[in-house]
Structure 1
Amino acid sequence: MNSITTTPKRILFLHPNFPAQFRHLATVLGNDPNFQVVFATNRNDVEIPGVFKAIYNPARAASPQTHHYIRNLENAVLTGQAIYRICQELKAKGFIPDIVYGHSGWGPTLFIKDIFPTAELICYFEWFYHAHGTDADFDPSDPMTPNDECRIRIKNAPILIDLYSCDRGLAPTYWQRQQFPPELQSKINVIHDGVDTNFFIPKPGAKLVLPRINLDLSHVSELVTYVGRGMEPYRGFPQFMESVALIQQRRPNCHVVVVGDDRVAYGKQLPEGQTYKKLMLEKLSLDLSRLHFTGSLPYIEYLQVLQASSAHIYLTRPFVLSWSMLESMAAGCLLIASKTDPVLEVIQDGVNGLLVDFFSPEEIAKRVDEALNYPEQMQKIRNKARETILQNYDLAKLLPQHLEWMLNGKETESQKKRTKSKGFAGNKEWMNL
């Protein structure tokens, strides 16, 4: 890629989990001689050429004696302090950034305007918490308590400070931006991180063989897949497993592959020693010879799972939209997804995916039957799924827009139209602009 600007700029990225949402931005800028790029992070096991990593470590974790409403805030302050100390060291060495771009919520951006008052502060706003109407009270079997309501309100404190102090912000989807206070949404643009559609491509007729983990499903004609960072209610893991029991009863030749770790990435933890995987395996009668748990996979093996998939199940509470859903669409998967708001921004039932009731394993199993019984008819939906990603979420299109917005504060005409429109309004009013 040619140099983006002739004016030398110093960029400071902030995220505890290097490189996270900033991978592609940092890679491009790190390879451009017109930029000096520093990334402050907790993670020291990944490198990007041209990007200097500044490792920070909070002095301690929130005290157990701290009121549980504000432990999240105390951890954010401790993170902010650690970042401040790292920035003092950078400043002493002559590095004063022109732009600081950080993920809001964990605290790294809290004190940037104090240590670097002349820098432009950009915040990545992924989620604003609500006690009612989105993820927290979605499951009627998990009712809210007064403590939950109060704790969730306070959880937004570091995000609200960032909303006040930042110069600009960005959210990855219109529905996610819609969760932020209406009076502050004008500060937040919408650009998705983007999907690498040159990597996530369909491979018709692919069979799943992963020698590294001794998994050979080359003989399988019906393969249902599920992907998640963890195995948790937020991503519908219990309902998925209940649907697997039904699918196995109905389809004796169907195999199921589950990608992800046996942990909770989002939501409440179970008591020590318990996991949702263990809970569901004990609860359900399953043929374990046709149910395969791979753990986390390298990207190339993860892609192979998607390419071999006959039907891919994605369930989510009204919460942050997973990269994996869009990646599966780019790979041409037949997506069976929950009829929840983040999904409805992307999927139209019967057009580019099949929608189901999050809480209905029976409906999920029926749509799997539909997908597997009529593969030729489903090919149109697969094609449309990839077309959706190519048109609206392609990294090759979005990365230049993201860089232009980040470096120069400019929106494309398409972005301006979308920002001024209603954005997310139940489905795709904003798409195809």
Structure 2
Amino acid sequence: MRILFLHDNFPAQFGALGKYLVHEGWEVWFGTQRKGASFPGFNVFTYSPHRAVTKSVHPYAANYERAVLAGQAAARAGLALKKKGFMPDIVMAHSGWGPGLFVKDIWPDTAYIGYFEWYYSAQAPDVAYLAGTGRDADDDLRARARNAAILMDLAHCDGAVCPTEFQKAQFPSCFQEKLEVFHDGIDTDYYRPASGVRLRLGALDLSHTDKVITYVARGMEPYRGFPAFMKALERVLKEEPEAHAVIVGEDRVAYGKQLPAGESYKQKALKDCNLDWERVHFTGLLSRGDYLKVLQSSAVHAYLTIPFVLSWSMMEAMSAGCALVASNVAPVREVLSEGEALLVDHRNTNKIADEIIGLLRSPELRARLGANARKKILEGYAAKTLYLLKRDWLEKMAASASPGRAKKFH
């Protein structure tokens, strides 16, 4: 079997699955905009849009033009490979960014699988949750237009994958039958508990305390509850003098609106929050190994989010046996239930503080929640189980997309 993954980033959602398929004897190709990308067993090539988005393009159309430019670049790279005889059985592309827009024009008999994360709408749960935060009619209209590339993919893909039921539910009902819910899977052998771990990361040495509060996100923004977490820390650190907070992520906005140029939510927290900054540690991005150490040393892990795409970090923390204080929103409740974490309305920073302090003072409850959280991941989200199911499904998609080649798959 020969599969081609397309994603502007690398390896993103496809790296671990691709690694598994290589182990299963598949020929794995990966097209990306990430220069210098490589991975053992992968055949990697890059594509690059020949120009930037038109400066004067209508704001509602900017994301679509960006997607078309990416799709055109990926198509040109694909056509060059086709001239050399390259014919994939399956192409799987991340939808919305454009690289898969023209797959069926290049390889009509190839199974095209779209990976769908989110459908934008003025009525979407993330928008409703942040109501009253300065959104206007232009934002709503731009959101609808942002779906143009996603809808093109939905219309012509042979199969569609969505990571969670919550994410699937955001798509128009007429497309939901086409969407198969397959989580990306968590490496439960790697993200596992380890007793007695005390955190040491280079110059950061917290081996003197077992009261480490952890927070992980790509960026620092309201979508992932960063301002609320920092405000809650005021009480937590005041009432728990041995506690330290470790914050993993970059000083940027990954989701949601940017602040005015030169401002960031981290800078606002440094200015507005009354904290003992010697006990608040920003690590930036970490290697996978150091990230695991953070999770394994965590006494309490805070995962705060508005109703939006669920983060891998929450489920990796569960797999590592962390005791979680998490937002009481639909995507979290799909995975976490009573007895597996403490769920809070993270707009209530006092309640966040209450739950973190309570867990810091209750080792027995922490151990029980952590064990139950890991059990949930092992039973429903372990990569080694999901990858087998996904492989079988991909083979069926390939056979149905090209009946003339169906014998190849049996």
Same fold (TM over 0.5): yes
CA distance in 2, matches of 1:143, 1:346: 31
Pairing partner for 2:210 from 221, 224, 227: 221
The answer as to whether partners of 1:113 and 1:121 remain within 8 angstroms in 2 is yes
Q: Distance in 2 between matches of 1:346 and 1:313?
A: 15
* 1: CA distance, partners of 2:49 / 2:285: 28
Question: Are 2:299 and 2:366, in contact at CA under 8 Å, matched by a contact in 1?
Answer: no
Describe the superposition over 1:235-266 as per-residue Cα deviations: whole angstroms up to 9, x where unpaired: 01000110111211211211000000111111
Determine if contact 1:113/1:119 at 8 Å carries over to the other structure: yes
2:296 is matched with which residue: 307, 315, 332? 307
Partner Cα distance (2:40, 2:51) in 1: 31
- Does the 8 A contact of 2:124 with 2:170 survive in 1? no
1:144 is aligned to 2:132 = no
Residue 143 of structure 1 deviates from its aligned partner by: 3.8
**What is the CA-CA distance between 1:385 and the residue it aligns to?**
0.4
**1:64-103 correspondence to structure 2 within 5 Å:** 64-103=55-94
Match of 1:328 in 2: 317
Give the alignment partner of residue 275 of structure 2, picking from 271, 286, 293: 286
**Aligned residues of 2:224 and 2:305 also touching (Cα < 8 A):** yes
Deviation at 1:90, TM superposition (A): 0.5
| Distance in 1 separating the partners of 2:321 and 2:40 | 32
> Is 1:337 the equivalent of 2:326?
yes
**Conservation of the 8 A alpha-carbon contact between 1:245 and 1:284:** yes
Instruction: Give the corresponding residue for 1:372.
Output: 360
CA distance in 1, matches of 2:111, 2:71: 17
1:348 to 337, 344, 350: 337
What CA distance in whole angstroms lies between the structure 2 residues aligned with 1:384 and 1:281? 35
SS of 2:108 mapped into structure 1: coil
Once residues 81 and 377 of structure 1 are traced to their aligned partners in structure 2, the CA distance between those partners, rounded to angstroms, is 54
Q: What is the letter of the counterpart of residue 321 of structure 1? A: L
Deviation, 1:32, is 4.8
Task: Write the letter of the residue equivalent to 1:343.
Answer: V
Aligned to 1:40: 31
Aligned residues: 398
2:126 is paired with a residue whose SS is coil
What is the CA distance between 1:37 and its match in structure 2?
A: 2.3
Report the equivalent of 2:405. none
Of 326, 342, 348 in structure 2, the residue corresponding to residue 360 of structure 1 is 348
Q: 1:406 & 1:177 partners in 2: Cα distance? A: 19
Task: Give the TM-score, by structure 2 length.
Answer: 0.95
Q: Determine whether 1:384 maps to 2:372.
A: yes
Higher relative contact order (CA 8 A, sep 6+): 2
Q: 2:229 and 2:293 mapped to 1: Cα distance?
A: 21
Shift of 1:49: 2.1
1:23 maps to what in 2?
15
Give SS of 1:404's match. Answer: helix
Report the Cα distance in structure 2 between the residues aligned to 1:373 and 1:237, rounded to whole angstroms. 23
CA distance in 2, matches of 1:277, 1:14: 33
1:224 counterpart letter in structure 2: I
Report what 1:59 is aligned to: 50
CA RMSD in angstroms, aligned pairs only: 1.3
* Cα separation, 2, equivalents of 1:374 and 1:255: 17
Deviation at 1:141, TM superposition (A): 4.1
* SS of structure 2 residue aligned to 1:69: helix
Superimposed CA distance per residue, residues 253-306 of structure 1 (whole angstroms, 9 cap, x where no aligned partner): 110000001111111111211111001110111111100000000011001001
How is 1:387-426 mapped onto 2 (pairs within 5 angstroms)? 387-409=375-397
1:141 and 1:243, CA in 2 relative to 1: closer, same or farther beyond 3 A?
farther
Residue 134 of structure 1 deviates from its aligned partner by 1.1
Secondary structure of 1:256 counterpart: strand
Out of 50, 56, 60, the position equivalent to 2:41 is: 50
Partner of 1:128: 119
Task: Quote how far apart the aligned CAs of 1:23 are.
Answer: 1.0
Distance 2:381 2:137 in 1: 39
Assess if the C-alpha contact under 8 Å between 2:158 and 2:397 holds in 1.
no
Deviates more, 1:391-400 or 1:322-331: 391-400
Q: Per-residue displacement from partner, 1:293-337 (whole Å, max 9, x unpaired)?
A: 000000110010011111000011111000000000000000000
In structure 2, relative to structure 1, the CA distance for the partners of 1:133 and 1:49 (3 Å cut) is closer
Distance 1:149 1:31 in 2: 45
Once residues 186 and 249 of structure 2 are traced to their aligned partners in structure 1, the CA distance between those partners, rounded to angstroms, is 19
Contact kept in structure 2, 1:31 and 1:49, CA below 8 Å: no
Matched with 1:431 is none
Q: Percent identity?
A: 47
Equivalent runs, 1:422-433 vs 2, <5 Å: none
| Counterpart code for 2:158 | D
Aligned to 1:178: 169
Kindly state the Cα deviation for residue 76 of structure 1 after the two structures are TM-superposed.
Answer: 0.4
Q: 1:264 to 1:385 in 2, by over 3 A?
A: same
1:155-203 CA-partner distances (Å, limit 9, x unpaired): 0111011110001101111111111111111111111111111101111
Q: Whole-Å Cα distance in 2 between the matches of residues 403 and 46 of structure 1?
A: 24
1:272 and 2:261 are equivalent in the alignment: yes
1:26–1:48: 8 Å Cα contact kept in structure 2? no
After TM superposition, which residue ranges in structure 1, 4 or more long, deviate above 4 angstroms?
none
Alpha-carbon deviation of 1:31? Answer: 4.2
1:2-30 CA distance string (max 9 Å, x none)? xxxxxxx3211101111111112211333
Contact 2:186–2:381 (Cα < 8 Å) also in 1: yes
Does residue 159 in structure 1 map to residue 150 in structure 2? Answer: yes
Question: Normalising by structure 1, what TM-score?
Answer: 0.90
